[in-house]
Chains A and B, each alone.
Chain A
Amino acid sequence: MTSLADTPLVRPGIGQGLKDVFRRRYLLKLLVRKEIKLRYRGSVLGVLWSYVKPAIQFVVFYIAMGVFLGLNRDVGNYAVYLFSGIVLINFFTEALNNAAKSIVYNSGLIKKIFLPRELFPVASVFVSAAHFFPQLVVLLVGCFLTGWRPTPLGLAAGFAGFLVLAMLSVGLGLFFSSVNVYFRDSENFVEMMLMVATWVSPVMYQWHMVHERLGDFWFGVYQANPVTVAVELFHYAFWSTTAGGDAALAAPPQLFELWLPVALVVSAAVLALGQFTFRKLEIKFAQEL
């Protein structure tokens, strides 16, 4: 019993933010596993659905956009071009949508038991990453079928693109989930923002179309969006070696030297802002929920 006297008196309810999430990573793992389990509960195909849906999506894109709309003529191997951007946007959309709702959704627990509340938005991002994986597999199959050759720089680009969006999702997720406790408008705003995200990044079109219309300065502003850079990194990783003659247009100049560091800095800043806001607001979660 002497050991208890040696432990210091601490103020309960004052956490250390994301550091606590790391400390409680076993609980994080269980929360993520719970969500994944619940998602496929009672379905016969179970986790196979995660492969079937993106595979069908890919085939539809290939036929409707590549063949019927003839976009294959303008952009070589358009289906892979489009799909590599779409899977990344899918991840971002799901991660942020769920993260923004996570605190209100788990209010029953947050009002009763103290635990690091950052766990919930972070868990949402991890769950989305788990759902992203099957889409990546489908993308890779599409890549190999169209003559993809993996390169070390390409794989690094793919990893960097994912990392940028994961950081951004956690940062924005922390911000909007905590604001959502006070104003439920927050989750609607997030949905609107995500709808715009698909179009302000070169998912459907190519970056040089933007450059031609906007000029250098505004293109710089366009490039400051980490989502844009992440999509371009994915194009570089998965599409550029399959594109034939269009490969030269795969990435804007200075993608690695300039824009990737910019995206990392912006994402890290958003993460810091999200954490700061969350910690300011979480003090009153229990009484506001």
Chain B
Amino acid sequence: MSEQSPITVEIKGISKQFVLRHTRSIKEALIWFLKGRKGDLSAKFHALRDVSMEIRQGETVALLGFNGSGKSTLLKHISGVMTPDEGTVRTRGRVAGLIEVGAGFHPDLSGRDNVYLNAAILGMSEAQIKERFDSIVEFAEIGEFIDTEVRFYSSGMYLRLAFSVAVHSDPEVFLVDEILAVGDEPFQKKCLDKIQELVDAGQTLVVVSHDLDLVQRVCSRGILLEHGRVVKDGPSHEVVEFLRARTK
């Protein structure tokens, strides 16, 4: 993680404003317009204000903060789901990850179909999926249930399969939003080992989590957000201490 490592995520002065619209129909919008645009059809709030950071290859970064501080919004900007109002986000290589457990899983499809579909959604090619399929199933410990419809899976099986597909997608930048908290102890350990393995191989990791102990274990760098601004950026144990001191 020297200064020579290439930058994988570069964020320059991004701001994001959310407009909370109260209407979903043309009729209401038209009536509001005809009534002389009285009252607010929408409310605005800043989710991110002038956020900048650089993340280099091989770094393990935790985004910290209370609910509504803008962590998840920032993660969505890195993944490309959202684009900023101002400023720029640039990434190098493939960005993928687990933003929510099983987003893109369909309960009525078998585990096998879901693995293929989900892996393709995360950007894997047909050849890559075929090559890694056995490894995905093995890591998830699904075994013979792979051809069973996913709706019969226990929540643990569901999570394991989703996580397994995501880690096997092998992106340059891996994003994880609050999923390490789920799953039993042995599987959580297995996941952490796998993540460590990926980081050692040069992957960049960006995690959003409220589990401060876990964050200190996994991540070397912490970035604290408050009301959409970066208030502290440094070694994770310092940022966690800072955050703990604030809540007291």
Which residues of A does B touch, CB under 8 Å? 1, 4-5, 7-14, 24, 26-27, 30-31, 34, 37-38, 41, 108-115, 183-185, 283, 286-288
Contact = CB atoms under 8 A, between A and B. Distances in A.
B75 to A, nearest CB: 10
Given A7-B92, A184-B25, A287-B18, A114 B81 contact: yes
A7 B93 contact: yes
B108 A41 contact: yes
A38 B108 contact: yes
B12 to A, nearest CB: 11
Contact of A113 (B21, B88, B99, B125): B99
Interface stretch (B109-117, B136-144, B237-245): B109-117
Interface string B69-103: 00000001111111100001111110110011001
Name, among B100, B106, B120, B172, the residue most crowded by chain A CB atoms within 10 Å (CB to CB): B120
A132 to B, nearest CB: 24
B99 A1 contact: no
Nearest to A111: B81
A231 B18 CA distance: 46
Contacts, number: 107
B108 A13 contact: no
Interface in B176-234: 202
A26 B81 contact: no
Contact of B10 (A5, A9, A287): A9
Contacts of A11: 80, 83, 88-91
Interface of B: 6-8, 10, 18-19, 21, 24-27, 29, 57, 76-83, 88-93, 95-96, 99-100, 103-104, 106, 108-109, 113, 116-117, 120-123, 125-126, 172, 202
5 contacts: A9-B90, A10-B92, A112-B100, A114-B81, A183-B26
A113 B25 contact: no
A13 B172 contact: no
Contacts of B10: 9
Nearest first, the 9 closest Cβ-Cβ pairs linking A and B are: A12-B80, A13-B80, A114-B80, A9-B90, A112-B103, A5-B6, A27-B120, A112-B99, A286-B81
